[in-house]
Amino acid sequence: MNDNPLIALFGYFALLSLFAVGGANAAIPEMHRIAVEVMHWMNDRQFADSFAIAQLSPGPNVIIVTLIGYHVAGLAGAAVATVAMCGPTCLLSFFAARTWDRFKDAPWRIAIQAGLVPVSLGLIAASAFVLARAADKNIYAGVVTAVTVAVASFTRVNPLWLFAAGGMLGLSGWL
Amino acid sequence: MPEPTISPPGAPGMPALSELFISFIIVSVSGFGGALPWARRMIVEQKRWMTTEEFNEAFALAQFLPGPNVVNFSVVFGSRFGGAAGAAVALAGLMGPPLVIVTVLAVLYAQFGELEILGRILSGITAAAAGLLIAVVGKMALPLFTRRWNWAPAIAILAFAGVAIMRWPLPWVFAVLAPVAVAIAWLKPAAATARQ
């Protein structure tokens, strides 16, 4: 038993963030395991709802930890969970970026960078594929996706217009 | 030790801290279904703070580090252009608005229990967001594929197939492919150089 939920929130999310290679979406199953199965902070339904609300909000998907923290301990919980999930990795990123820049011309640094870029690109392509497969439940949604690919690739139109059009179609029940 | 690559905030060609902050706010509030396309649009296409290659390299570093990718990227980008203050400002711009919005949504949800209308709107936005991400992948891939053929596209395709088609866990795909790719880059530095 943890006497203070804030300490448990901090400990779990700080630890999770340091092992979350591949970003927030890759860490969702582990978050579910901790929040629902290990700590019993929330039930399955509440976790699924938190995930849906995090998706509804613009910005990084990692924002789901804010909702879990809020559920456990109100605004203090929200703040603690967010800081725990982002703080350690942000510090790591900061020092890694400085080291990276300092060794700009070192052969090992150039090799690591050259190796990571294509891996990174392949993983982003995979998440685009997964997102499209989840979103394109029917032909109209597929058309929205395809039109967005074309417009975003070959024009300078602000994609927010495409989001607005997609949102309207969704609201009208076509998608 | 000298740090020639870290420029003071406000140096010529560098965004001011306020501009950095506002830019990341715009990225975060636009970023339904992922903030990456909006970060790239802002940094590469609109402000021209980075070239396509530089963006790819910075994002690959952010993705290699544990934790949320776009959050890491805001720190990597911010620190390059404004040191610790730049990193803090970019991070605050990226995280601030979503924190407020998600809290409001959580309160609305607690009041009404159903967000069905928002969910329907979101399903349409997500279909567009998927298309936007696909377009960004195409743009990011251009420097890799237009150069004389080398090993890099093969690595990218393997990473894609491992996660998207085979459905292997992402950390495992990463743990296997990254060392292989770095080793090839080390052995064949000429073909691997990201910038000619």
Residue A61: per-residue pLDDT:
84
Structure tokens at A102: 């300092």
Band of the pLDDT at A2, cuts 50, 70, 90?
A: low
Cβ distance B72 to A89 less than 8 Å, yes or no, reads yes
Residue B192: per-residue pLDDT:
43
Residue B3: per-residue pLDDT:
43
Band of the pLDDT at A166, cuts 50, 70, 90?
A: very high
Instruction: Nearest by CB to A18, from B66, B91, B106: name it.
Output: B66
Instruction: Nearest by CB to A56, from B118, B134, B158: name it.
Output: B118
Cβ distance B79 to A165 less than 8 Å, yes or no, reads no
Helix (H) / strand (E) containing B164: none
Q: Does A124 touch chain B (CB under 8 A)?
A: yes
Instruction: Nearest by CB to A122, from B33, B94, B159: name it.
Output: B159
Nearest-Cα residue of chain B relative to residue A129 = B164
Reported as a single tens digit per residue, the pLDDT across A108-118 is 999 999 999 99
pLDDT at B162 over 50: yes
* B contacts of A155 (beta carbons < 8 Å): none
Q: Could you tell me which residue, A173 or B147, shows the higher pLDDT?
A: A173
pLDDT at B10 over 60: no
How far, in Å, are A118, B30, B119, B171 from residue A97 at the CA level? 19, 26, 38, 21
Residue B189: per-residue pLDDT:
66
**Residue B34 has what DSSP assignment?**
-
- Sole residue written with tokens 């996706």: A145
B29, B45, B75: best to mutate for the A interface, most A CBs within 10 A: B75
CA–CA dist A130, A135 (Å, integer): 9
Burial grade of A173 (CB within 10 A; 0-12, 13-18, 19 or more): exposed
B79, B81, B102: best to mutate for the A interface, most A CBs within 10 A: B102
Specify the 3-state DSSP secondary structure of B7.
Answer: coil
Residue B100: per-residue pLDDT:
92
Asked if residue B21 lies in contact with residue B93, where contact means CB atoms within 8 angstroms, the answer is yes
Nearest-CA distance A132 → chain B (Å): 5
What is this structure's pTM? 0.87
Asked if residue B185 lies in contact with residue B192, where contact means CB atoms within 8 angstroms, the answer is yes
Q: How far is CA A157 from the centre of its chain?
A: 26
Structure tokens at B106: 């959580």
* Segments making up each domain of chain A, as ranges: 1-102
Closest by CA to B81, choosing from B35, B181, B13, B149, is: B13
Structure tokens at B68: 């949320």
Mean pLDDT score across all residues of chain B? 86
CB atoms within 10 A of CB B18: 12
Specify the 3-state DSSP secondary structure of B193.
Answer: coil
Residue B195: per-residue pLDDT:
46
How far, in Å, are A15, A127, A168, B155, B191 from residue A89 at the CA level? 10, 21, 37, 26, 32
CA–CA dist A112, B185 (Å, integer): 7
Cβ distance B183 to A125 less than 8 Å, yes or no, reads no
pLDDT at B6 over 50: no
* B contacts of A119 (beta carbons < 8 Å): 60, 155-156, 159, 174, 177-178, 181
Nearest-Cα residue of chain A relative to residue B102 = A57
Mean pLDDT of B159-169: 91
pLDDT at B1 over 80: no
3-state class percentages of chain A: helix first, strand second, coil last, to nearest 5: 80, 0, 20
Q: Does A170 touch chain B (CB under 8 A)?
A: yes
Q: Does A163 touch chain B (CB under 8 A)?
A: yes
Mean pLDDT of B165-173: 87
B132, B145, B151, B155: best to mutate for the A interface, most A CBs within 10 A: B132
Instruction: Nearest by CB to B75, from A63, A93, A114: name it.
Output: A93
Reported as a single tens digit per residue, the pLDDT across B67-77 is 899 999 999 99
Residue A130: per-residue pLDDT:
86
pLDDT at B58 over 90: yes
Model ipTM?
A: 0.89
CA–CA dist A40, A136 (Å, integer): 34
Structure tokens at A11: 């400990």
Nearest-Cα residue of chain B relative to residue A168 = B121
Q: Which of A111-125, B105-119, B130-144 has the lowest mean pLDDT?
A: B105-119
Burial grade of B107 (CB within 10 A; 0-12, 13-18, 19 or more): exposed
Structure tokens at A117: 């870029």
**Residue A63 has what DSSP assignment?**
G
Reported as a single tens digit per residue, the pLDDT across A44-81 is 888 888 888 888 889 888 999 999 999 999 999 999 99
Q: Does A157 touch chain B (CB under 8 A)?
A: no
Closest by CA to A90, choosing from B89, B49, B188, B138, is: B89
CA–CA dist B30, B136 (Å, integer): 15
Asked if residue B151 lies in contact with residue A164, where contact means CB atoms within 8 angstroms, the answer is no
CA–CA dist B68, A23 (Å, integer): 4
Band of the pLDDT at B108, cuts 50, 70, 90?
A: confident
Residue A3: per-residue pLDDT:
66
CB atoms within 10 A of CB B161: 16
